[in-house]
A and B are shown apart, each in its own frame.
Chain A
Amino acid sequence: MHKDVRVAVPTHWGDGFGSDIAAQHIARAQEVFGAQILAVLAAPEYPTDVPILVIESRNLVALMLQLKSTYTFLADITATDEGETGQWGRFEVVYQLFAPREKSRLRVKTAAHEGAMVPSLAHIWSGANWAEREVYDMFGVRFCGHPDMRRILMDYRWVGHPLRKDYPLKGYQLFPDAAPINPDLLQMEEQVLGHDSDELWDNADLLVNIGPTHPTTHGALRMCARLRGETIETSYCEFGYTHRAKEKLGENRTYHNFIVYTDRLNYCSSLINNVAYVMTVEKLMGIGVPDRCVWIRMIVSEIARIIDHLICVGINAVDLGAFSYFLYGYHQREEAYTLIEKLCGARLTTSYTRVGGLMADAPEGFEREVKEWVRRTRVVIDEMHALLTNNKIWRQRTEGVGVFTREQCMDYSVSGPCARAAGIDIDLRRDQPYLFYKNVEFDVPVCGSGDVFDRYLVRIAEIRESLNIITQCADRMKSGPIWTEDKRVRIPDKDSVHNTMEGMIHHFKFFMEGFQVPPGEAYSQVEAANGELGFYIVSRGGPRAHRMRIRGPSFWNFQTLAAMVRGQKVADMVAALGSINVIAGELDR
């Protein structure tokens, strides 16, 4: 056992910003809506991280319009199945709101009985479209006024709603064939400008299916498009081909068991997922971790961010024909794997963090090796930059392609490098600093035009910033304990397990039953490689979560694709899709 008890202040969750703004808005909402506000839940009476407004569903739209003036960013929409015990109805639909300027977060809930409708927010935030479809798919809650109320992850013939508590975990349903292209969804509302003015094409519409096994989709996505010539007139995306029921598993596995499933969300940067998940559970339990643990978590997060960006820009270049560029980046990724292997023994699916600590301490000389890797990576990034950035073909293929403006990004809740490429200056590492990000110096690269080229530039600039952060962390990391002293979550030392009865019982109960998490709910947001990664955990006590929601940035970013490529060529779709870096594991979960 470590004698050095030096528990970090529990601010490494990135909380406590803008709570006065939230209070003001709640007071105003209470004034305006009076008895329509069913409840205001806030700490300390109700164990939650941010205040919650519960409103009757018929006033939801009015409330949201009022809140939107400040809470411009719709972070997430999800639901929980409360069963018979629900205070206001069987289902509670949960909206996570974020005010980027005031750095304030607020949660709004509304309730729905079985079969009742909830008003859709798709006309307030276009990004709500898919999220509401997912709620319908998983819970069967319908949204009135929604433009396209179809299933999203499951097959269109699926019976039942998997995330309902009464749906069995192993309720398989197999269908003999794949979903065909749905021409109804490709009806044109208006003529798209800029198509080839060749008479040959003028009345020749072509329905094209791209994916789910197509070299450009990198994962199992599918896109159906109506073309005129080579111009995409309208298109829709189909996915769910790698749906692995991680949210359902989150309710059926203990908190400790669930760590392995977080690896497989965004598998290009699984370390960030590990960190984000355990941080949420720590927040729920009020556990702080020692300094060394926080520094190591920061280093691994930044390494993960770099290798994710390397794979994104590399693949984007491969799709446009620059293969050698990809190999440069991939070699550096392999070197990073070597570092990660030294930490946890695995290359890709790391499961490195534990609730309250880490799987293992960094090996001796790790700081030196990391700095050496940073030095080499800087050289490689410079080489890659020289190879591609001013390449004429690359610029012609990417500049002005796949443009998504600042306003569109906010409308679709785009976050991360894609939003920053469009000029939205949000980086949660700086704006809601978690871990020790407030103690390191780094810039947030922002571009303006929001095209594929700017996304590339932002990613390359972010790699350089992450390298700086890693160096600072490695300099400031000191030896010390990596585990919290909290007995509830601390995995007992092997010494005590093998030599004492209490230790063995503790070990047995820890792994067979899991640790108990007090009732409450928490949403923690982390700046992952592609944007805001959020875990929303609702606990009703016990070793398993009542609801485990994962807000993956890919889901929200991918939604922009159809709007982004409208009126562009099919080949530009390839460039645009590569640049938003959709990771299927995080998209489908």
Chain B
Amino acid sequence: MSKDGNAGFLTTRLNDFINWGKKNSMWPLPFGTSCCGIELMSTLAADYDMARFGAEVVRFSPRQSDLLIVAGIINLKMAPILRTVYDQMSDPKYVMSFGACASSGGIFNVYSVLQGIDTLIPVDIYVPGCPPAPEGVLHGLLELQDMIERGTTHAQKQRVCHA
């Protein structure tokens, strides 16, 4: 902070610094329900090793995690639970919609399936595939890191609005 009280320069740098920290230490909550959960496990296991990108501390408690990975189908019975889990996460939180079922209902346009989780919670990044290959998931994760760095995720944009 300079002597005249102008904090602009420093704040920008600090934001960048915080975003750098955020993007490299995401704690994912694997909300794996079906087939995609298995591919998420592949991504977390030794061969693809998501830990290389700082997202290795898998936490099943929403209060401890900041990246919600919705891997698999969300049906209408599950939808309120997903909403609860999302609400319990503390800001800033990011959502990855993993696979076709979570993104759009996929091949299941039927009575029991929610047609995309974005009708329920804000989604930052969609990973296509049925299920996506681990390479695709890692690509999605890197894209999300870029978004966090630029401050364009839903949680970060909302925060700017509130400020």
User: Which of A's residues lie within 8 Å of B, judged by CB?
Assistant: 154-155, 162, 167-179, 212-215, 218-220, 240-245, 248-249, 260-261, 263-264, 267-268, 311, 326-327, 330-331, 333-334, 337, 347-349, 584-585
Are B111 and A169 neighbours in the complex by a CB distance under 8 Å? yes
- Interface of B: prevailing SS: loop
**Which residues on A sit within 8 Å (CB–CB) of B130?**
349
* B131 adjacent to A242 (CB under 8 Å): no
Most buried by A among B76, B81, B111, B113: B111
Given contacts A241-B75, A327-B46, contact A347 B111 (CB under 8 A): no
A242 to B81, CA, bound (A): 12
Chain B residues lying within 8 Å of A218, measured Cβ to Cβ, are 32, 37
Q: Which residues of the other chain, A, contact B112 by a CB distance below 8 angstroms?
A: 154, 162, 172, 243-245
Q: Does B34 lie within 8 Å of A267, measured CB to CB?
A: yes
Bound-complex Cα distance A330 to B107 (A): 28
Taking residues whose C-beta sits less than 8 angstroms from the other chain, chain B's interface range is 35 or more
- Nearest 10 A-B pairs (CB), nearest first? A267-B35, A245-B110, A330-B45, A241-B78, A215-B60, A327-B46, A171-B111, A220-B33, A334-B47, A178-B80
For A348, list chain B residues within 8 Å (CB).
Answer: 35, 38-39, 131
CB of B108 within 8 A of CB of A249, answer yes
Q: Are B108 and A244 within 8 A (Cβ)?
A: yes
A to B CB contacts below 8 Å, 30 in the list = A162-B112, A171-B111, A174-B76, A212-B81, A213-B31, A218-B37, A219-B37, A220-B33, A220-B78, A241-B77, A242-B33, A242-B73, A243-B112, A244-B108, A244-B110, A245-B113, A260-B107, A261-B107, A267-B35, A267-B38, A311-B38, A327-B46, A330-B41, A330-B46, A331-B47, A334-B42, A348-B39, A348-B131, A584-B33, A585-B35
Q: Is the CB of B133 within 8 A of A347?
A: yes
Excluding A171-B111, A241-B33, 13 further A-B contacts by CB distance (< 8 Å) are: A170-B111, A178-B84, A240-B75, A240-B77, A241-B81, A242-B34, A242-B72, A244-B112, A245-B111, A248-B111, A330-B45, A331-B46, A347-B39
A219-B77 contact, Cβ under 8 Å, with A162-B112, A170-B110, A330-B47 = no
Contacts of B84 in A (CB 8 A): 178
Q: Are A327 and B45 in contact (CB under 8 A)?
A: yes
Pick from B35, B60, B101: contact of A214, CB below 8 A.
B60
Question: Known: A213-B85, A260-B107, A330-B46. Is A244-B73 also a contact (CB below 8 A)?
Answer: yes
Task: Indicate whether A155 sits within 8 Å of B76 (C-beta atoms), given known contacts A219-B37, A349-B130, A585-B34.
Answer: yes
Contacts of A241 in B (CB 8 A): 33, 75, 77-78, 81
B75 CB, min distance to chain A CBs, angstroms: 6
Name the A residues within 8 Å of B42 (CB-CB).
330, 333-334, 337, 347
Q: How far is the CA of A585 from the CA of B85 in the complex (A)?
A: 22
Enumerate chain B residues within 8 angstroms of A585, measured Cβ to Cβ: 34-35
- Looking at A175, A267, A327, A331, the one whose CB has the most chain B CB atoms below 10 A away is A267
Chain A: which residue is nearest B109 at the CB level?
A: A170
Residues in B24-66 with C-beta less than 8 Å from chain A = 31-35, 37-39, 41-42, 45-47, 60
Write out the residue numbers on chain B whose beta carbons fall within 8 Å of the beta carbon of A214: 60
**Residue of chain A at shortest CB distance from B131:** A348
Contacts of A177 in B (CB 8 A): 80
Contact of A242 among B75, B85, B107, B110 (CB under 8 A): B75
A241, B81: Cα distance in complex, Å? 10
Please tell me if B79 contacts chain A, counting CB pairs below 8 Å.
yes
Residues of A within 8 A of B35 (CB): 263-264, 267, 348-349, 585
